[in-house]
Structure 1
Amino acid sequence: MLKDRIVLKVGSAVLVKEQKINLTQIHALSELIATLRKCYEIILVSSGAVATGFTSLNLDKDIVENKQALAAIGQPLLMKIYAESLKQYQITSAQLLISNYEFDSRKHTQNARNVIEVLLKNKVLPIINENDVTTTGELAFLGFGGDNDQLSAKVTHYFDASMLVILSDVEGYYEDNPQINPNAKMRKIVHYIPKEDLESNPTPNDAFATGGIVTKLKAADFLLKNKRSMFLSSGKKLEVLKEFLLNQKHTQGTLFVPEIV
């Protein structure tokens, strides 16, 4: 029996606590992945390289070259943390550094897809990250944010997953800004995202985050237009995702799903 394929994207704001990698959160995430893999094929898209590098070298991350250097330092350290955490669940992981530009080439996309298929067939967990060392500067100058939000949406589409799950400090898609309006209601199911919400400025809540709700909405919009789904929920409340995927109980978070015509 074939398993549904899901892309799980976890943001820096979830993995970082007081400007350090939150090992407790990594271990909780590893446990969740081990549980989900019983029913789903999982591809992990993980932020956190810059934050991990910052724990070894305190550089001003607002300078593009410094941010790239921190990513170069942090990427192998982050993968080591993941590998050690996943090992207790007998899960082997593999690192893939992919940029958004890879998907502009049909050949590059197919090559990456072939590797993903081999890894999943052999029960290896692919861990994908934006290649920050070569792309962060270009994206920063272009004014983009939330690189891994956009990347994870493309990974979902081009690597044939049925759903993208974004675990973030953003708990869902609200009718109003909950930081300003405490009575704002969360949208539980969304079929369409208004243009004005997609054009708002990114508002990251963490020093190492690059997006906010807007980049999540852009990722969801891309997937909706390609007839795929996305679930957005809190990375600090992993039980919400577990209940949704394993018990079909939608208690919190927002499900973006194409409308059936």
Structure 2
Amino acid sequence: MAKWQRVVVKVGTSTIVGSDGKVNYPVINRLAQGLTTLVNEGREVLFVTSGAIGVAIDQMNLPARPTKIPEQQALAAIGQGYLMSIYNQSFAFYKQTVGQVLLTYDVFENAGLLAHTKEAIQQLFEQRVIPIVNENDVIAVDELDHQHSFGDNDRLAALVARELQADLIILSDVDALYTANPNLDPKATPIHQVKAITDDLRLAATGSTSGLGTGGMTTKLAAADLTMSDGREMALINGDNPANILSIIKGEVIGTHFQGVQK
């Protein structure tokens, strides 16, 4: 993984919003430090983030995520600006410039839009800027219409990585892919290397524990499947310590490394 030159890093809501529903500022700061280090090493880094609704819930002092779609869309509008202000401040401390890119499913279905999007991202790379990508949840209603949205940002990250011919790192609320749900089975053990997505792995997949995000281990396996089918690699690591990003790039055995082409 030390040879990875173009890297997409995806972070879920459970990483940037704690189990208490509060924004996890220390983790975000360490994440900014880690991604900046990758850029300083000469790599091209794109950052896919969830969490707009999660941080808005904290900002608006709501007891829980609302169930009505328009209310969630409104929170996405509130949280997107707040989330970017947090990222701007965190990355600025390390003198790293970032730029926001909001996407919808339609971009990947329209050759013209996709080409323009890739050109814009390439220009950001050339200026050593980290593009921060999120789905435009204000207009893309993922809970109701999966035909016009990604449904979760794991798939969004995998699609972006595929189009950019990049490798993928997903930060999650679990340490790795396990042989069973570690929250239910004390005998579950981590799987550190995967060369093919099998039915047994899909059965062993465990979901997110935070309750704030929309993804789970199933969506991460799907992202790995898509990434590996294009001959690229993916790493799944715990987001509680973003320094793991640098450790896994150095080749340390952390999390799960998905390597190999699907047959």
Per the normalisation by structure 1, the TM-score is 0.90
Percent sequence identity is 32
In structure 1, the partner of 2:9 is 8
1:199 is displaced (CA, Å) by 7.6
Q: Are 1:249 and 2:249 matched, yes or no?
A: no
1:61 is displaced (CA, Å) by 2.2
1:156 is displaced (CA, Å) by 0.3
Distance 1:97 1:13 in 2: 20
In structure 2, the partner of 1:109 is 114
Q: Equivalences for 1:72-91 in 2 at 5 Å? A: 72-91=77-96
In structure 2, the partner of 1:47 is 50
State the one-letter code of the partner of 2:23.
Answer: I
Distance 1:207 1:3 in 2: 32
Structure 2: segments with no counterpart, 5+ residues: none
Q: Which moved more, 1:143-152 or 1:199-208?
A: 199-208
| Deviations 1:73-111 (CA, angstroms, capped at 9, x unpaired) | 010111011001110111111000012331111111111
3-state DSSP of counterpart to 1:180: coil
1:196 is displaced (CA, Å) by 6.1
Q: Equivalences for 1:140-151 in 2 at 5 Å? A: 140-142=143-145, 147-151=152-156
1:125 is displaced (CA, Å) by 1.0
In structure 2, the partner of 1:34 is 36
3-state DSSP of counterpart to 1:149: helix
3-state DSSP of counterpart to 2:123: helix
Q: Which moved more, 1:20-29 or 1:8-17?
A: 20-29
Distance 1:112 1:16 in 2: 29
Distance 2:13 2:151 in 1: 10
CA contact (8 A) 1:6 1:165 kept: yes
| Deviations 1:122-176 (CA, angstroms, capped at 9, x unpaired) | 11110000111111x2x21257986110000001010221x11001102211111
Distance 2:206 2:144 in 1: 15
1:56 is displaced (CA, Å) by 2.9
CA contact (8 A) 2:27 2:242 kept: no
Q: Equivalences for 1:114-193 in 2 at 5 Å? A: 114-135=119-140, 137=141, 139-142=142-145, 147-161=152-166, 163-193=167-197
3-state DSSP of counterpart to 1:141: coil
Match for residue 234 of structure 2 among 198, 211, 230: 230
State the one-letter code of the partner of 1:169.
Answer: D
1:202 is displaced (CA, Å) by 7.6
Structure 1: segments with no counterpart, 5+ residues: none
CA contact (8 A) 2:76 2:138 kept: yes
State the one-letter code of the partner of 2:191.
Answer: R
Distance 1:165 1:46 in 2: 12
State the one-letter code of the partner of 1:51.
Answer: G
Distance 1:132 1:202 in 2: 25
Match for residue 208 of structure 2 among 195, 204, 211: 204
Distance 1:254 1:196 in 2: 16
Distance 1:10 1:191 in 2: 23
Match for residue 19 of structure 1 among 21, 30, 49: 21
1:48 is displaced (CA, Å) by 1.0
Number of positions where the alignment pairs a residue of Structure 1 with one of Structure 2: 255
CA contact (8 A) 1:7 1:45 kept: yes
1:195 is displaced (CA, Å) by 3.7
Sort the Cα spacing of 1:56 and 1:259 in 2 relative to 1 into closer, same or farther, 3 A: closer
Sort the Cα spacing of 1:166 and 1:3 in 2 relative to 1 into closer, same or farther, 3 A: closer
1:204 is displaced (CA, Å) by 2.7
